[in-house]
Amino acid sequence: MIESFECPHCMVGRCRLTHQTFTCLYGNRIFCAPNTEIYSCDMCGYQELPHRVLSLYDNLLKPSHDVASLISSKPADNKTHFKKSSRVG
C-alpha cells in the first residue's frame, strides 16, 4: 500500500494514510463509517479513499439484484402492517 503521495488537489501537500470517520451522501442517505482508512492531505485537507475500501463500501451499499427486484415487484401499499406478538407473563 502507498504510504503517501502528492496531493492531486493542491499539488503542494502530501496525502498520508490516516484513520478517520468517513461521511458522505450516498444517493439520498448519509453514510458514516468510523475508523476508515483515508488518504488525507496535510496542507489542504483533500481526502481520498483507497481503492479496496471504496470497493468494499460500494459493495455494502449497492443493493443486490435480488433485493432490487423484490422491491420493484411489490405493489404500492402505504399501509403499515404489524404482527401481534404473544406475551409471556
- What pLDDT score does 72 carry? 53
Say which CATH topology domain 4-64 has: Ubiquitin-like (UB roll) (3.10.20)
Q: Are 14 and 39 spatial neighbours (Cβ–Cβ below 8 Å)?
A: no
pTM of the shown model:
0.61
pLDDT recorded at residue 16: 96
What tens digit of pLDDT does each residue of 34-89 get?
999 999 999 999 999 899 998 888 888 877 655 555 455 555 555 544 455 555 54
pLDDT tens by residue, 13-24: 999 999 999 888
pLDDT at residue 25 greater than cutoff 90: no
Q: What pLDDT score does 83 carry?
A: 52
Spatial separation of the C-alpha atoms in residues 58 and 52, rounded to whole Å: 10
Domain boundaries, the chain: 4-64
Residue 71 falls in which region: left (phi positive, over 0), alpha (psi -120 to 50) or beta: alpha
